[in-house]
Every structure is written in C-alpha cells, then in structure tokens.
Structure 1
Amino acid sequence: MSTAGNAADIWWVGLAWTAAATVVAALLVRLLWLVQDKAVARLRAWLVLLRRKQGHAAIVSTYVDHANSGVQWVVTALSWGLIVLVIDLWASFVLQQFSWTRSWGLRSFDWLMDVLGQFFSATLGAVPGLLTALLIFGLARLVSQAQCLLLERVERGEVRLGWLDKDTAGPTRRLAQVVVWLFALAMAYPYLPGSNSEAFKGLSVLAGLMLSLGASSVVGQAMSGLSLMYSRALRVGEYVKIGDTEGTVTQVGLFATRVQTGMGEEVILPNSVVFGQPVRNFSRLVEDGQFVLHTAVTIGYSTPWRQVHAMLLEAASRTPGVAAVPAPYVIQSALSDFYVEYRLCAQGNNNAPRRRAEALSALHANVQDVFNENGVQIMSPHYLADPPAPQVVPAGPWAPQRGEALQPPAQRGQRGASVGL
C-alpha cells in the first residue's frame, strides 16, 4: 500500500513539475516573440534614421528595403533557434519526471549538450583563424585606401607620375582595388571556418565553373574597355563619331561607353562594338576644348572655284562660335564628272554652342544665305543641258539680303503666300 502511495505521489509530483515547466516554456516562447518584434522595429527605425542622416544618395537609401528584409530574416531565424532550444529543454525535463521515460529524457539532454559542446568547441577553434583573416582584410583595406588616395590625386591632376596620367588613373585605381582584395581573399581563404571541408571545396569548384562558362562575354567587354582606356583612344569630353553615332563622350567605362548626341539623347555603346570599328575624333588634334567643324558642298564647273572658296569662308566668318585662329580653310576634295566637291574646315572656339550639331546647323544656314546672295545654286548637276535659270532661292522673307532681318513665316489663313518645293 505504501509502495502504491509513493508511486502515486511521485506521479503527481511529476505532473506538477510538467505543468510548471510547460507554463515557463510558454512564457519564454511568448517573451521571445515579443523580443523579436521589438528588435525588428528598433532595427528598422535605426535604418530609417540612418537614411535620413545620410540622404537619398547614400548606399543605405538604395538598399534600405533589402536591409529591412534581411534584418527580419536574421532576427526570425535567431528567434526560431531559441524557441527550438526551449522546446527541446522542456521535452527533456518533462521526460525525466517519469520513471518509464527518464532514459529518453537523459539521452535527449545528453544529445543536446553534446551538440552545443561541439558548436562552442568549433566556434572557439575558429576564433584564431577568424582573427587572422580579419587582420589580413584590415591590412588590405589600408593598402586599398592608400592607393586610392594617391591615384585620386593623380586623377585630379594634383600629382604627376611618369607612367600614369589623368585619363588612366581612374581605371588603374579600380583595377588596383580588385587586385588587392583578390590577393587578400586568397591569403585569408585557408583561415576561414570550413574552408577545408569537402562541401566548401565542391561549392568553390561549382562557382568557378559557372563563372568561367557564363562570363566569357563579360570578360571580353572588360578587356575591350581596358584596351580603350589604356590606349587613350577615347577621353571624356571629346567629340567623336563611332559608326552612326556622333556626340560627346561622357564616360568610358569598363563595359560600355556613353555618348551624348546633339539631339537630346544618350547612346550607350558596348566596348566590344567601339573597339571593333573606326572612331573619328573631332577633338584630339585641337586645344582648349575646341572641336573640328567641316561641311561639304558640290558645285558645278561653271562656277569659279575661287568664288566658291570666298563664299564658304564668308559663311564661316558670319557663324558665331567659329574660331578665327586657326583660320578656316577650303579644300577641293574631289573632281567628279559633273561637279567639284568643296570642303570647308574650321574649328569651334570657346563661345561655340556646347553641341557640335548646333554649330554645324548655324554654319549650314550661313552657307545657304551666302550662296543665295551671290546667285550660285547648291546643286550637283547631273544633266544634259543647263537649266534656263539658276536654281537658287530668290531674295525675300525666306532669303534676306546681308544686313536684313529674317521675316516671320506666313501665318495660317494669309492669302497670296505660296511656297514652291
């Protein structure tokens, strides 16, 4: 009777301890959920405050949404890990309260202690390697900052090096950063935790294989970009013509070149395309930010060539922005079957419009006005006989004489105004 009573008492004691452990475990789980919500809210508020302090141009502003998601994921993972630990401890404690389940509880507790012991042992064993890796990365950061400061001064023109100029200082700085960090990663790799495991080695081989198979075009673009930079074929601010694209170079990057045309557009050209075709540079042989202006007209043999030269030079002198020094000149670039090709060559001075298209448009307008004033038609004659009258625009509102103001165009509804094409 006493034995049965003792067993009953032990049973009720076990149930009491189980109930108490359940309440404590439930409270701990609830507390962990509350701490998770508070931690996520605090971290998000800190990110918002950091974005306000650094402005919208900071990198935090760009990736704040991703940072919020990452913070929530990390905090949730930690919370679930602690909850699983609480549940395991609760199960081990409850199983040990009863005689027929005590062995299971002991084994469960021993297993948990063994796992935690291995985890902390591995963590403590990885500390020296992590410290060594951090030291290597710290030294790499110092070297990277030192070379950046030097090459940025070269890029601004404050320091001159015989083997490096302003145009190649920027790409050299970026390449040096990549080399320094790759070298640091190669040195720190053996000290990283798990670097000697088969899984880590297999993942490294897979990543290298994917990079070698998928990055061939990227490497080709990068090599073309480096060739353009170090050959100095293009410089920022120069006016060039690449294929059918003509405009001012605004950026020579590692993978693409940006060109702003005079038509309100920006063209992005892959460096392999730029590297594979001829480039006409209208700014390389001139100084002080000037650029070359040239246009061609074809005039019949019946017009004296000296008169054509004089008219083209007169048009250049009327165009604002055309440099007087060096003086514009005219060359006869071709003697065709029916006409002579004349090419006017000039340079735009510092007062010229920023876009070469505007300067050429003004020059073309003055060429038309001067030829009309002198009664010379701009027409390539493919003919059997001369027309009875020169094909020029008569003097009037559309072709004012020198010194006259241009009349406004005819308004809708006016009678007696006609335009012939």
Structure 2
Amino acid sequence: MKMRVAETFWIQFYEKVTQPELWIMIGQGAFKIFLIVIVSSIVIRIGKIAIQKIFLLRMKSPLNYSERREATLLRLLQNVLRYVIYFNAIIMILETLTFKVGALLAGAGIAGLAIGFGAQNLVRDIITGFFIIFEDQFSVGDYVKIGNLEGTVEEIGLRTVKFKSWTGEVHIIPNGNIVEVTNYSVHNSVAYVDVSIAYGENIERVENIIKEVLEEMTDKYEEIVKPPELLGVQMLGTSEIVLRVTCEVKPRQNFYIARELRKEIKTRLDENGVDIPYPRMVMYSKEEVRSSN
C-alpha cells in the first residue's frame, strides 16, 4: 500500500515537473526578476547622476549656497532614492513570485503597530537626524567631535552618522545618541605658540626678532587669515620667560600653522644667537669635590 502511494506521488510529481507550462512560467518569472534588478540598478545610477547635476547647477547659480550643506543634502537624497527604489523592487519581485503583497503589507502594518512601542530608539534617531540636517549642525566634510570621538564626517543619514578619524577608523553613531557636538569647521581657528627664552636674554630684542618672523609669515602661508600677533610675556617660569604668539587661520589649519611658527621662530632665534632654555645636567666627580674642599 505504501509503495503504491509513493509511486503515485512520484508519478504526479514527475508529470507536474515535466509540464512545459511550468517551465515557461518559471522562465518568465526569472526573466521578470532579472529585468526588475537591472532596471532598478539603472534607475538608481541615473537618479544619482541627475541629483549630482542638479546640485552642480545650484552651486553655479548666483545665489549663495553652502558647500557643506549641499554635500550633505546630496548624499541624503541619494540614500533616500536608493531606499525607495529597493523597496519598490522588492514589492515587484514578491508579486512576480505570486505572493499576495496586499495581505503582506496589511500584516506588516499590524506587526508594525505591535512593535511600534519598541521602536522608540529608531524614531528618535530619525527625528534627530532630521534636525541635524535642518539646523545645519554639521555637514559632510566637517571635522567634529562627538563625545570622545573626533573625525571628518563622511555621511549623514536619517538614522546614523559616519565619520572617519585621522588614524583611519570609521565611527558609526546613531543620531539619537548624539548629545553634544563640537564642530571645528564652521569658523576660523586660532593657532598659538609659546616661546621660551632664558632670563639672561633681552626681552625687547627677542620680541623684535619674533615680530620680523611674523611679518614674513602672512605672505608665506595662504592658510593665515590675519597677520600673527605677539601678545607679549605669557608666564615667568622657574628657568625661562614664556612669550605667546597667536594667529587666526582657516578652519582646522591651526595645528599646521602652529608647527610652522615654531620652526620659523626657532630657526630665526638660532640665527641671532638667542638661547632657548632646556634641562641640563651637571656631573661632578668625587675627586673634584674633594679638591674644591
């Protein structure tokens, strides 16, 4: 009896599998899915190019647009376009596979209502991301500090922010976790350098030497916004006098200009024989001590 049932099952299965209509339907479905994937990829690529062209035209217009904000909106619109096309492609593929999409969406709506209370973090991330972009708190290309992490913003999405540190690590932070942000790219930075000289040096002479160097720095480095300024004596240390130099530079160029200031000032002080104090060790032998006594 069992053998007859098995034989009947395999006979029916073989008849269904060998039907030309089945393979035609499978072939048509596979071809439709292939077309959906190809067309979706083409639409995404064309859409990204179109968005880039639109933003390039906006930047060339006489109106004043912020490059930072334009880059952020460009990346965001491209991401939204990709999500929308992918969603529509999935719906069309499910319809091709004879799934009842309407029933699935209705079930998804009921399930979404059920898990909505547990999706508060997701909603908070999206709302926070919207206000980050709307208020222009920071944009793509800005150097920011979020919590204890610093880096250059690479992407701002509706849910997360990606930024890359100067050592190469990429940090991804949910928007809802961003409580405090320090943006170093909005306004000009200030570079400052402390120069130590010995107590035996003539302060006025050293100040004149440093001022000569500072006058040459403005024409030498395009990152400098305003001419460097010598503020004067900053501190009287135990073995040195500290002079402070400040300089307003373009955003994020303060560390570079500070290094160049130190190099230029040190070179000029050496040329003029100005002594910069440094720790020294004096050693005495026992014989010298005894002979002196």
Q: TM-score, normalised by structure 1?
A: 0.41
Corresponding residue of 2:189:
292
Q: Larger relative CO (CA 8 A, sep 6+): 1 or 2?
A: 2
Of 132, 135, 146 in structure 2, the residue corresponding to residue 228 of structure 1 is 132
Of 23, 34, 39 in structure 2, the residue corresponding to residue 139 of structure 1 is 39
1:355 shift after superposition: 6.1
Distance 2:36 2:106 in 1: 25
Given that 2:164 and 2:171 are in contact with CA atoms closer than 8 Å, whether structure 1 keeps it comes out as yes
**C-alpha distance 231-130 of structure 1, shift in aligned 2 (>3 A):** farther
Distance 1:237 1:347 in 2: 18
**C-alpha distance 256-152 of structure 1, shift in aligned 2 (>3 A):** same
1:117 shift after superposition: 3.7
Structure 2: gaps spanning 5 or more residues: 195-203, 232-243, 285-293
Letter in 2 for 1:165: E
Distance 2:16 2:131 in 1: 53
Structure 1: gaps spanning 5 or more residues: 1-102, 286-290, 298-306, 332-341, 371-399, 417-421
**C-alpha distance 131-240 of structure 1, shift in aligned 2 (>3 A):** closer
Report the RMSD for the aligned CA atoms in angstroms. Answer: 5.4
Count of aligned residue pairs for this structure pair: 244
Letter in 2 for 1:293: V
Of 262, 266, 273 in structure 2, the residue corresponding to residue 404 of structure 1 is 273
Matched, 1:169 2:66: no
Corresponding residue of 2:51:
151
Bigger-Rg structure (1/2):
1
1:258 shift after superposition: 1.9
Letter in 1 for 2:272: G
Distance 1:124 1:209 in 2: 40
1:146 shift after superposition: 1.3
Q: TM-score, normalised by structure 2?
A: 0.54
Given that 1:151 and 1:173 are in contact with CA atoms closer than 8 Å, whether structure 2 keeps it comes out as yes
Task: Indicate the percent of aligned positions where both proteins have the same amino acid.
Answer: 13
**C-alpha distance 172-130 of structure 1, shift in aligned 2 (>3 A):** same
After superposition, residues 13-412 of structure 1 pair within 5 angstroms as: 105-118=3-16, 123-124=22-23, 127=26, 132-152=32-52, 157=56, 165-195=70-100, 216-218=120-122, 220-221=124-125, 223-225=127-129, 227-229=131-133, 231-242=135-146, 249-254=152-157, 255-260=160-165, 268=171, 270-272=173-175, 275-281=178-184, 283-285=185-187, 291-293=188-190, 314=211, 317=215, 321=221, 323=223, 325-328=225-228, 344=246, 346-348=248-250, 356-360=254-258, 403-404=272-273
SS in 1 for 2:226: coil
SS in 2 for 1:346: strand
1:112 shift after superposition: 1.2
Given that 1:296 and 1:343 are in contact with CA atoms closer than 8 Å, whether structure 2 keeps it comes out as yes
Given that 1:329 and 1:346 are in contact with CA atoms closer than 8 Å, whether structure 2 keeps it comes out as no
Relative to its length, the structure with more strand (as a share) is 2
